[in-house]
Structure 1
């Protein structure tokens, strides 16, 4: 059963909307701080994921199937040898990247990617890990091992997910998509489609996962009823997992993900059918479905990577949540009162850039990835 936090109804979530398309009354740039950006690096082809190494350098993935190390001065390193083949078609390719919480001692790196089936046209999201070996500027990925494969594989080029985030207990959350053509499977528990899963760092199933020991289910599942989760972050104070997911025509969601929780898709959603605008599922609320903390209607912003700000580098922003928007071409600043969304501000719209990922760097500043053929790493200036 969902926790007491899950009893917030979707009608209450809807009440947060001051005007269509907004989460809550929007702050103006004059009330907040209109930031500027500095270009850290450019020349990346559709970068997808960004992770910082302890020495301040960055790992960046390019969807076509390359992972690079970027020096502190922005110089791009060569593609790292050792990556397995990826299916770089549609929304698929090399996706997110994170470093192990104990990277300083074990040098382990994890990444998600779209993996082909052994035969046929099917594919699915997989997660691999490897040790980052070699001197700076000459690194390679060694001892590559796949620690998770989404099942079943599907003949689709859409909805792979897939953000990776380590929980405060060292377990790895993997956010997955419903693969578009199999949306109904997001409500069944014998597969990984439309799910967030949780594994040990070596791929084993944690004993305290909610479905362990339940017949006919995948024990890796942490939550279900998701459409296409492309943003995830751990709340620094509570340790809770928060995530963003794409709706269809409207209905993008910001969720406080519940252990063993049903998040609704495709039976409970604010989204509408593409082109037609007709209803999907049974409505926007149900007693056993976890309501989103906020949602975007009637226009999707296509939320992607996200990060909680824990530093004091930006006056008045500590504790805020920052979400990249692809279709919305903005950095969305979310103000929270506890777990309640009380305001949003859309920043950097003048860049006209699809913001794919958001991370806080070791210097306490925010870093962004822009999704295009000449993708950039941007630093948000105070």
Structure 2
């Protein structure tokens, strides 16, 4: 049975990798919009994170350890010097990128990546300055390590960055896979969402400040592999998107000091079919997800669409899905999820989705010859 499951998994990944892209002239009709999909930029190697510069250009990370700028015409720059050292193995590498809220004045860029440490690897937050001519990173330095380092395993780094309305920085870290219980240990930064000052210090007002045996950076805990963080523009709340095991993918509304259950409870099972933790889906004292999926949709990044190009989608939360590949659109009312629609299902693996300054939706594909796709309204 294990061999059959492994073969099925390999076949599933192969089919996803070979899935045919949408033709640019094809009109795709969804419940609230009709759109076309364009190849905006091509030739990227496993693009993972992206952030729009004030002038409309796009900073894009490549997981093997490169950072590039995509011009407004879709042209891709050479790799920028100054990127921090990464462990580009397994799921590790150069992962997320975010701009400081006052980037126009400071030109500060934040990067999350897997980094070598203690004979192994860990999740690291680094900061740099983008040069005035946008050709290199300067003054790159590490701000925080999600310690302790792990000598084995190259999976579950988390590594999404988001800034709250108060300017504090949120960072997600994965449980690192080999020791699930790290997510429940408050003296360990794995399997958490952290809330930080911009220099990497614990943020003022954090729930575990001053608590013996707990790391003061922690905002929430009990997370498996949080691959998405997004601030709800309607409420200011922080939404976390969590990649589950065999099912049990989640969208969570994060609350200070709350426990989200991994690996004590889960709506999924482990990859070998065995029960996780108590074998229960919920328990007293554990926060319930806003939505969960079993079978899995394998979500990665996600963001709210705030522009006006798609009036029927404004304020919706979009999730990039890896397997089955596609986009998940969630209709929101405040912090409640009212409905779900699946778009471009079975086409290709998507890693991140974000709204552009032009109001359009941009999607990163998880491919060796990766692309930035742009969804445009169809007349």
Aligned residue for 2:311, secondary structure, equals coil
Tell me what 1:63 maps to.
63
Moved more, 149-158 or 332-341: 332-341
1:374 aligns with 2:363: no
From 338, 344, 349, the equivalent of 1:354 is 349
Q: 1:127 aligns with which of 125, 128, 139?
A: 125
Aligned to 2:360: 365
Off by >4 Å, runs of 4+ in structure 1: none
Q: Distance in 2 between matches of 1:188 and 1:204?
A: 20
Q: Tell me the distance in 2 between the aligned counterparts of 1:240 and 1:62.
A: 29
Which SS does the other structure have where 2:77 is aligned?
Answer: coil
Equivalent position to 1:192, from 177, 185, 189: 189
User: Is contact 2:237-2:335 (8 Å) kept?
Assistant: no
Q: Find the counterpart in structure 1 of residue 36 from structure 2.
A: 36
Q: Provide the C-alpha distance between the structure 2 equivalents of 1:341 and 1:84, rounded to a whole number of angstroms.
A: 38
Correspondence for 1:324 among 312, 316, 320: 320
Size of the aligned set, in residue pairs, is 349
Q: How much does 1:287 deviate?
A: 2.1
Alignment counterpart, residue 297 of structure 2, candidates 301, 316, 319: 301
How far did 1:349 drift? 1.9
What are the equivalent positions in structure 2 for 1:42-57 lying under 5 Å apart? 42-57=42-57
2:9 aligned residue: none
Q: Pick the aligned partner of 1:281 from 278, 282, 287.
A: 278
3-state SS of 1:349 partner: coil
In 1, the alpha carbon distance for the partners of 2:45 and 2:253 equals: 32
- State the Cα distance separating 1:282 from its structure 2 match: 4.4
Equivalence for 1:81: 81
TM-score normalised by the chain length of structure 2: 0.89
CA offset at residue 267 of structure 1?
A: 0.5
Match of 1:254 in 2: 251
Please point out which of 311, 317, 322 is paired with 1:315.
311
3-state SS of paired residue (2:250)? strand
2:261: which partner in 1?
264
Contact 1:36/1:348, CA 8 A, preserved across alignment: no
2:263 touches 2:276 (CA, 8 Å); kept in 1?
Answer: no
Higher RCO (Cα < 8 Å, 6 or more apart)? 1
Check 1:73–1:193 CA distance in 2 against 1; reply closer, same or farther (3 A cut). same
Cα RMSD after superposing both structures: 1.4
| Counterpart Cα distance in 1 of 2:30 and 2:300 | 26
For 1:377 and 1:29, locate their aligned partners in 2 and report how far apart those are by CA, in whole Å. Answer: 21
Question: SS of the residue aligned with 1:35?
Answer: strand
CA distance in 1, matches of 2:228, 2:57: 22
Q: Distance in 2 between matches of 1:34 and 1:263?
A: 37
